[in-house]
A = this chain, B = another copy of it.
Amino acid sequence: MREVFEEWRPVVDREIERLLPRTIDEAYLSEFFGSARYEYDSNGLQRALSDPVWNLLDRGGKRWRAIVFLLLVEGFGEDPDEYLQYACIPEILHNGTIIVDDVEDEADMRRGDPALHHISGKDVALNAGNAMYFFPLKILTHNPADLSAERRLSAYEMLMHELNRTHLGQGMDIYWHNKQTIDITEAEYLEMCACKTGCLGRIVARLAAIVTGQDDATEQTVGEFAELMSVAFQIGDDILDIETSDEDGGAFGKAAGNDIREGKKTLMVIHAANNASPQEVARMENILWADENTTEEIETVVELLYETGSVDYAREKAQQLSNDARACLQQLDLDPNVADQLAAFTRFVIDRDV
């Protein structure tokens, strides 16, 4: 697994840099976005678009969405190098959602540095984030790899479907965040994850299927694979936040126990709310709802999540989703070597030993 990441990550970064150079000028703007009617302020766009985007991208990120895309293309028997621009689409979209989510959540930090809106200002950050929603779709209009009209139309329609559901997921998550009572069902929680996180995964996989001309059944199965893996990854991430809550936990660039401070309604929290005493639930709801938390309060919730078996429950759920993802893989007629790498990736989402 590690080798694949090390091989492809710089390739992906170079391609993103080709699509959105660190230094932009009139010639680039005209070529990528079309000629100005009057005259672009390329210096202004440098500051308002390229600088903030690269500020975020340079902080890291595994680019796993691009890399899974490229693996899938290879698995379908095509040359990944031909589809590099498409690989950047979900990666840029993902980083756009990070910027916007951080404004919505009033996040302080991102990947070890102040969240972008604290550096560029809320206005610049938000517009750059939103630009990153549409920028990758503009890549499609340039038609890299010379796709047929039919495939291009499929790609647009798929993207519109998934990007709409992404916003439903974020809408549910925000609504839950804004109320103290925890009365979310597990099915609703999984739907939120499937929409908010899973849809970007689905874009990765379905786009790989579409650009390489797979049939509809393959596109659906590979989409399901990526969704399941993404949801498993999300739950795995939430578990990690609890598990490392006594450590300094910088592994993923996030402060440990942060989800509790943010009042996040994770699968563990929902499970605990259904399995603890009314007094314990009320205490947990108060702690999650409070603007500030003491270390003791964080520990109280962490203990409750362990006592109610919620951490184990979530780990089993993530494991099951990861197993289901591998079952999808087996239904696909992928190059066996690639299938093995993708299967390893679904295990990584639980173990994080890459």
Contact = CB atoms under 8 A, between A and B. Distances in A.
A141 B157 contact: yes
Best-buried of A166, A170, A190 by chain B (most CB within 10 Å)? A170
A58 interface: no
B127 A48 contact: no
Interface string A305-321: 00000000000000000
Interface string A149-173: 1101100110011011111101110
A194 B37 contact: yes
A161 B123 contact: no
A194 to B, nearest CB: 5
A149 B104 CA distance: 37
Contact of A124 (B121, B156, B163, B178): B178
A328 to B, nearest CB: 13
Contacts of A140: 157, 160
B164 A39 contact: no
A177 to B, nearest CB: 7
Contacts of A29: 168
B33 A127 contact: no
Name which of A34, A100, A157, A191 has the most chain B CB atoms within 10 A of its CB: A157
Contacts of A25: none
Contacts of A190: 37-38
Interface string A122-151: 111011101101110110110000000110
A184 interface: yes
Interface in A226-255: 227
Contact of A178 (B36, B123, B137): B123
Nearest to A126: B104
A126 B178 CA distance: 14
B123 A104 contact: yes
A50 to B, nearest CB: 10
Contact of A160 (B137, B157, B161, B171): B137
Contact of A130 (B130, B157, B176, B185): B130
A137 B127 CA distance: 19
A175 B141 contact: no
A134 B167 contact: yes
Contacts of A67: none
A336 interface: no
Contact of A191 (B40, B152, B153): B40
Contact of A175 (B41, B156, B166, B170): B41
Contact of A104 (B34, B105, B127, B135): B127
A131 B196 CA distance: 12
A171 B128 contact: yes
A160 B134 contact: yes
Contacts of A175: 41, 44-45, 47-48, 124
14 contacts: A40-B172, A44-B175, A44-B176, A49-B168, A100-B126, A105-B123, A127-B170, A127-B174, A131-B168, A133-B134, A135-B164, A138-B164, A140-B160, A141-B161
Given A38-B191, A124-B174, 12 more contacts: A38-B190, A41-B191, A45-B175, A100-B126, A103-B126, A104-B126, A127-B167, A131-B171, A134-B164, A141-B157, A149-B150, A153-B156
